[in-house]
Structure 1
């Protein structure tokens, strides 16, 4: 206790730089703890369920002919239940059908809320239990037109929701009764954003019911829970699965489609994603760099204090202090510094709470729970031991004779070694930031093959059929609007596909990305040229016409040995309801990039015509003469007046596209924050080093000046010593950044060019900041009167 009291008294003691120590540790702890908590949070993803190690998600692996095998996370609805029926090792099977995302709903025909809606079967809560706050979940999932809502959704609805009627604005006439309320799943659960769950018996009322399909309608998330000791994809279990696939999916083999199932532990499913793994590794590196930089800087300051505190420790030894007493002093000081640094870190985290939650896509409180907190505590103990024992050992090595003579040991090699590591960290983060920023710019500036700079988008999903006629009329009269058209979805959100079927043989020839429905002047609005044939016109919808990409046309030519595809009729799964429901190819458009720059889907594309009132139309695209915030607001207000009971939002196409790159943007922000923190920490250490060196060498510098040395020559001498360490460290950091960034970029189909000039710029920036810091802090001593330092000699 006496050591703690003494440590408190020494906090503001001149020359010990305790405030800087605490500040560096606090900044490092704040950022490192958030990153480490996030890493643990991701590592523990989907482990909150009982027996989670026995729960597996089913994926399907498909290849057609000589095409490479592809793995898809969704399956037909009947796969999981069929496996359970024939494989006794499966205890429970359940499946989920994502119904609506961010859907607007009415409560009792009045209040509106938005939420995510999923269709689940009666076994869902048996496999993924959570506390049922009101009602009976099993009964609700057995009844048609009944649903459950999460606690958060119930609160947003105003509470007391049991028995209330819930109506989806996009599906007029479909009304459900809220029968139960369940506790929210944790943030690191796949089901955290499940706001509303409908019974599986309800989906046939508003959608195609493929819950028992073994082929087709591959949109379900399928899960099984196996008995203890059972390992899917091994031994007898795998053989049984192959037998079931061969028995029930023999038709696929006739069409040269290879189909198999993959079973992944639910806790490992997200970790299998390569981008997830790379980002996880990068975040781990950032956390390690920041934590190491703060601890090394603490040690650098402690070692710098050896000159001033060496005599103090020698005097203590003269009065009988034992090595354990010296160690007790350093441990008490380190403990106090770490506690104060943790308090500072907590204050910084609280002050930056909003930015941190945006960066990590989760509330701060959810990160510091459970095992993650224990891991952080263990890490702090390690930091405490390292930060206490090393100074204790250094001070114990100070000879007793130091008390009776001048102590001139500088431990310069130790200091320069610690500075070198910090310079390496800073250079690594700066160069990494330049590459990540370059990659983000590459993605956002990527040429998708069409123009969208003056486009805005309006969701009209809640306005059905002929109710859109008022909007159609109004848009045609608005002076701000140059043109408009109707689409199923924006090009950046297309991911689904359908198979092309030979109408003569019924054979499925190949799969293509389905862009679904588009209006008359869709290609013109996007600046996409027509290569051959014609575009859609007013009669296209009734004639069942479609347009295709050049590679679609080439594949069809190769399959059917046709010279031309214009005017040819084909069948398309999902669109063709019967073998005679043919679609005619009327045009071939220029290639463009469907989806985003993050997607490397190279399948051919196709689109179909629809008028603005079609059931597949969910969006209107608006092309402005001048796309400004004022013009968009004016259009939104006029459309809102037409539909006062609906929510109309006019948003920029470019802004919505950019949100798809948020993961890269957030990572860039994390690297930038880490880089700034590492630079601040390193500069604090550098300033302390320069001040110590100038104080230690002040008499030497004074003598040099008496002998004719100028301030410039003195600065050159000090700078030379530091730059001999800084330049190699900066180069090493840049090389390390290149290796790590190259690994990270492997997961992008569109990659930036890692130009050597990026690394040169990073190295020069780091060296320039170091040089400026050294010069600014050394200038006062270099330019001072030498008499000031020699008058006592």
Structure 2
């Protein structure tokens, strides 16, 4: 306690640089602890479920003539079939999306509410994915068609848990559907791979879909195994079940092998390559920041040895042992650590909105979870490191130092610590430059279609008459150049269907099926037709299909079409023509044209399958608007017209270019994380550099004065310090650049197209750090270089 009192009283003593130590440590801790908490949070996904280690997601494994793959959804009958026929499966349930992300619905009073996701679910869903039930019995509510359960947060927005019971709602995307709320469940935590605000009874889905074994693999299916049962032990029983229910002869004719297996739910999120990549990069950032902050604290503490030598020696003269000195320094470090932690917590909560935007998780969930114990352990390690090294050095100060000037500079320690800080600064600065280049490349890369003047809105809740009215009204506006409609946008991931040739049941390959587009779609998107022609428009039923260049190149491996693909028929699953013409439901379509390849998805999640388009004369659910000039005023006018045409809806235009940028929001967030980390690391390094330079100036003041008396110029004095620092800064930053190259290369592996890691980027990054270091050294030495040497000699 005595040492703690002394440590508190000495906080403001001159020459100890306690303010610099505390501020740099607190800033480094605040960012590093948040990043470490984020890493822990990503690893904690789905651990809140009881028996989470026994819950598995069913996955479909397929082999075709085109290759093999896995798909994390299965047909409707698989989960219930496993529960009935595979011993060792304790429970099984299914869910399926019926509304996309961000669905608005209204009550009979015309009040509107927003739900993140609406899914259909079996009545036993909470027996597998257990959540506290606040109202209603899920087995009764979800057994009734078109009854629903909502989350606590959604219920509270609608008036309260008890108030929502029995309310009928209508989703905007499904105007004919009336859902009755019959229960409330506790919110799904943020660290869940499966999020939903509303569950609707699965009994509303048609029976064929729920009992089908092949195709229509839209179901998210989960099973809970009995205690002690492993997935490997169930493989024979699952295979036998597959043989019983799936016609193997038909599958062989189609050239398809199909099987099902289980993936641990705990690996659904944390086991993905994207998350593993992100955690590795965040770990690098956190380590660099924490390491730099710790090294800087130790550097400043060691730099004060010269000023505190006599104090320590006097303590020893009065009988203090090395252990007592060590205890004194550890007490000081403890006080500094506590103040730094409090300041770090203040910074974190002051910047919690920025942190939530960068990391996508609330500060409360990051810091006030089980991961808090990990953060406390990290703080304990930091305390031991920052206290042990200075304590060890102070304890070794000889007693004789009380009676003579102590001039040992400990330069090896200080230069070594600066060297490590410069490595971290060089690494993060050049890493930031590569991340920025990759992000800019992705958002500006040509996807193969024009979107700079494009906007769209969802009109799924309107009937075909009103959809046509919307298109006609918009087309009359002088601000609008063209309009069209589509079933899906290239931004989105597409469903898959299989291609066969006439006369053969063998399925050759899978395509990205964009389904239907309306009049003038290709012209509006400026997608070139490179062979044949576009669709015959304004026909009630069209059996034409358009394919892309990649499709033609792919099908040439299986079909002999010497005169090209135009006019040829293909069979595609998922597009019935009123009769079952094949064991796998689908229909025959004639290729009328070939369009140039364009990107489906993003460079981070690129769908590189061949693609196809179909025509619909009936307006589709996505209204596309191409402006003559895209301005805020023009968008406002169109939004006002949409409100006039659709008074019961609050639809506004989404700007396509904004959504393109949002495709890469993970890249943007990582860029911002590296930016924050790089700036803070550089600042902490410069604080250490300034502290080191100040101490060197004080230590060598007499030497510098003598040099000036003997004719040294100001530049000669500055050059002494510059040479001293640059000798370690140059190799340290180069080492950081080498590390940055390998980290940047690893990070870029997730992208289909990437910028080259050009040497000039690393050269510019290294030069930037060196210039900043040089400026700091010149700034701190300019005054002494131009001072009167007589004053320095007087003080001696």
TM-score, normalising length: structure 1: 0.96
Q: Could you say what secondary structure the match of 1:493 adopts?
A: coil
Deviations 1:636-678 (A, max 9, x none): 1111122111012112111112111111111111111100110
Residue 69 of structure 2: aligned partner: 70
> Does the alignment pair 1:201 with 2:203?
yes
CA distance in 1, matches of 2:654, 2:254: 44
CA contact (8 A) 1:486 1:612 kept: no
Residue 264 of structure 1: aligned partner: 263
Cα RMSD (Å) of the superposition? 1.6
Residue 12 of structure 1: aligned partner: 12
Find 1:626's aligned residue among 624, 629, 634.
629
Cα offset, 1:170, TM superposition: 1.7
Cα offset, 1:74, TM superposition: 1.5
Q: Alpha carbons of 1:645 and 1:539: their partners in 2 closer, same or farther (altered >3 Å)?
A: closer
| 664-673 or 493-502: bigger deviation | 493-502
Residue 697 of structure 1: aligned partner: 700
CA distance in 2, matches of 1:316, 1:248: 86
- Give the aligned length: 783
Q: Alpha carbons of 1:414 and 1:146: their partners in 2 closer, same or farther (altered >3 Å)?
A: same
CA distance in 1, matches of 2:31, 2:795: 47
CA distance in 2, matches of 1:125, 1:748: 37
Deviations 1:35-81 (A, max 9, x none): 0111100111111111111111122222212x332122122122222
Residue 591 of structure 2: aligned partner: 585
Residue 367 of structure 1: aligned partner: 366
1:117-196 matched pairs, under 5 angstroms: 117-159=118-160, 160-191=163-194, 193-196=195-198
CA distance in 2, matches of 1:296, 1:510: 57
CA contact (8 A) 1:55 1:266 kept: yes
Q: Alpha carbons of 1:110 and 1:73: their partners in 2 closer, same or farther (altered >3 Å)?
A: same
Cα offset, 1:296, TM superposition: 0.7
CA distance in 2, matches of 1:640, 1:490: 23
CA distance in 1, matches of 2:503, 2:783: 91
Residue 27 of structure 1: aligned partner: 27
1:82-481 matched pairs, under 5 angstroms: 82-101=81-100, 102-115=102-115, 116-159=117-160, 160-191=163-194, 193-204=195-206, 210-232=209-231, 234=232, 236-249=233-246, 250=248, 251-481=250-480
Residue 544 of structure 1: aligned partner: 543
Deviations 1:430-469 (A, max 9, x none): 0111111111112112221111111111211122211123
Cα offset, 1:541, TM superposition: 4.6
Find 2:728's aligned residue among 716, 719, 725.
725
CA distance in 2, matches of 1:77, 1:377: 47
Q: Could you say what secondary structure the match of 1:559 adopts?
A: coil
Q: Could you say what secondary structure the match of 2:508 adopts?
A: strand
| 323-332 or 665-674: bigger deviation | 323-332
CA contact (8 A) 1:519 1:536 kept: no
CA contact (8 A) 2:175 2:462 kept: no
Cα offset, 1:237, TM superposition: 1.7
Cα offset, 1:112, TM superposition: 0.6
CA distance in 1, matches of 2:109, 2:87: 47
CA contact (8 A) 1:636 1:650 kept: yes
Q: Could you say what secondary structure the match of 1:11 adopts?
A: helix
CA distance in 2, matches of 1:538, 1:593: 25
CA distance in 1, matches of 2:626, 2:394: 73
Gaps of 5+ in 1: none
| 588-597 or 513-522: bigger deviation | 588-597
Deviations 1:588-614 (A, max 9, x none): 11222222222343211110111353x
TM-score, normalising length: structure 2: 0.96
CA distance in 1, matches of 2:369, 2:235: 36
Residue 745 of structure 1: aligned partner: 748
Cα offset, 1:313, TM superposition: 0.8
> Does the alignment pair 1:604 with 2:645?
no
Structure 1 outlier segments of 4+, above 6 Å: none
Find 2:652's aligned residue among 649, 653, 657.
649
CA distance in 2, matches of 1:96, 1:6: 64
CA distance in 2, matches of 1:347, 1:726: 33
| 366-375 or 729-738: bigger deviation | 366-375
CA contact (8 A) 1:446 1:597 kept: no
Q: Alpha carbons of 1:494 and 1:42: their partners in 2 closer, same or farther (altered >3 Å)?
A: closer
CA distance in 2, matches of 1:433, 1:50: 41
CA distance in 2, matches of 1:716, 1:259: 73
Cα offset, 1:246, TM superposition: 3.2
